[in-house]
Structure formats: structure tokens, C-alpha cells
Amino acid sequence: MSLSDWLLEKRTLKNKVNSHTTNIKIPEGLWIKCNQCGLLMYYKALNRNLKICPQCSHHFPTSSHERIEQILDPTTWKPINDKLASNDPLGFEDQKLYSKRLQDMKSKTGLQDAVQTGLGKIGNIPVAIGIMDFRFMGGSMGSVVGEKLTRLIEIATYQKIPAIIICASGGARMQEGLLSLMQMAKVSSALQKHNDNGLLYISILTSPTTGGVTASFAMLGDLIIAEPHALIAFAGRRVIEQTIKEDLPDNFQTSEYLFKHGFIDLIIPRIELKAKLKQILSLHKK
């Protein structure tokens, strides 16, 4: 076979291969890349590991539904006030109407607002638990979030059981103005009554926990737990640096920095959280 014939045969074979491979479509959502270490993972394998990167232990965001499955004993979850939903008290409009934004979030997440509240058991110990969901408008704290958490804490006080809140929030919801800000005091007041009855409140901080949530119920726990490398802050880093005219440490506003300076009590990886909560609750019960 001459060189020209050989090259023609190779070119023909290559064209056949390309014609077959170009028709292959890889479904979206099967693979995910860790934005910390770059590891490419099969999405189902990541889910089985509670959305923790097996190489660098980066904690991916997770939904409130997944948190319920991860933390509570099976079949013990009983939602409270799950039909409670925000309206548009101020007629707020930015790039779109607030009422339209709410409707879009409900359709996208299947939630009525940015927190799920309910009763359940951890290690067969009854608890009242609120789980914030960052997918719903950045977990922002509006009037419904505050009302649901307040009612949850009041039920926990009445039933004399521990209260747990898993925080994930960008802060107060600006579309509700002062109505949003007053939730800080309302939830904090309910927690004070819970504490006056000698009952346990555990706050669990996930990434991010910021703004008015950090300035209120997130930091009022008898025990404050955080996930590794979580962003925990009140104001943004740039705002603080511009205000004090100084550069901040690289790990500033991380759970590790706050733990070192005494602002939180424990840093617990997500995969160990349920076992640790069982231990804490059983010790408190005694």
C-alpha cells in the first residue's frame, strides 16, 4: 500500500469514528466538579457521601429535604406550618415584582418559604427542628421564616423538648423591609423563654450564615456547631475592610477562625453530625 493510499484510509476511518461519536449525547447532571480541588465526581456517588468531596472534604450545599434525611430518624419527621407562605406587604419591585419572585421560588424549590420546621427524633429523642434552605431566595429571613421558627420554638417550650435550628442564610429579606428585621427580635424572644424553662437550644451553622440571622438566633445557641470551612459573618469582608481601613486574615469569617476565637463551640463534619447530635441529646437528657 502506498503512502497516499494509507493516508486516505486513515482519513476515511477517522471520519467514520467522528460521525459516530458526534451523535453521542451525555446527559446533563451526571457529573460534578469540586470547585475546591477540581475532582470530577459521579453525582450519585457524591450524594451517597452526603455531598462531601471524597478527596478534599469540601461540603457542597445541600437542601432542607436532604438535611431531614441525613439527621432525623427515618419516618419521624412531622412538618409544622408547612402551608405558611409570604405575601407582598410592601408591593416591592426591583428587577421583577416580589410576588412574582416568590412564585418562581416556590415552583423551583417546592417550598413555601426559606425554612422547613417540624418535629422528629434523633436517636429516638424527640426534637423540634428548623432547617433553612439557601435555594429559596438565598435562605433570606422574611416574616414567614421568623414566624415559623417562633412557632416551632414555642411548641418546643410547651412540649419541653430541645430545639435545633440549621442555619443557611444571606440575612434579612430586603423585600419585606422592617417586617423582616423585626424577626430577629421575635425569634430571640421565643428562645429566651425556651431558655428560661431550662431547655436546650442547638444552633448549627452551615455555609453561608450571614447578616441578620448571624446577628440573632444563629449565635444564641446553648451549643453552637458549625460545618468545616463554613462562611459565617454579619457584614461582608469588603465592607469591613473599607470601614476599618485594614486587611483581614485570609481565613477570616470561616468556622475555623471563629472556633479559634471562641465564637463557636464545635466544628463537626456533616457525615458525623447525626452521631454527635445523638450523643449531645442523650447527655442532656440525663
pLDDT (tens digit, 9 = 90+) per residue, 27-68? 566 899 998 899 999 988 899 999 999 999 999 999 999 999
Q: What share of residues in the chain are helix, strand, coil (percent, to 5)? A: 45, 20, 35
Name the pTM for this structure. Answer: 0.88
User: What pLDDT shows up at residue 2?
Assistant: 61
User: What pLDDT shows up at residue 15?
Assistant: 58
Instruction: Give the percent of the chain with pLDDT over 70.
Output: 90
Query: In the chain, what are the domains?
Result: 29-60 (no CATH), 61-285 (3.90.226.10)
Residue 23 reports pLDDT greater than 70: no
User: What pLDDT shows up at residue 95?
Assistant: 86
- Residues contributing to the annotated binding site for Zn(2+): 34, 37, 53, 56
22 falls in which pLDDT band (50, 70, 90)?
very low
DSSP string, 43-109: HHHHHHTTTB-TTT--B----HHHHHHHHSPTT--EESSTT-----TT--BSSSBHHHHHHHHHHHH
- Residues contributing to the annotated binding site: 34, 37, 53, 56
User: What pLDDT shows up at residue 250?
Assistant: 87
C-alpha cell read off for 151: 412557632
User: What pLDDT shows up at residue 20?
Assistant: 47
